[in-house]
Structure 1
């Protein structure tokens, strides 16, 4: 199960910097996670200061 980033995202980029699979990229309003690349490691969840990343 991949993760998704909610509207609580403040676009700080911490999740993108820490993703070992490079599955996170900057979207129009918030960062987005490519479910095809996400390996469910949870690193992004731990790094998000706004707790804006949840299981999809």
Structure 2
């Protein structure tokens, strides 16, 4: 793994630091699995749209 995308890793870490505390607070009431599945579906959809219509 010689070619590491440092900017991508740092941005992912910063997003996790920003979203993490709110996500943990949201999960206190239980029923967290449908919420996680919905967010994963949104993220996969955004990645698909970016790869299909993005600049690369």
TM-score bucket of the superposed structures, by smaller chain? under 0.3
Q: TM-score, normalised by structure 2?
A: 0.24
| Greater percentage in helix | 2
| Greater RCO, CA 8 A, separation 6+ | 1
Q: TM-score, normalised by structure 1?
A: 0.24
| Greater percentage in strand | 1
Larger Rg: 2
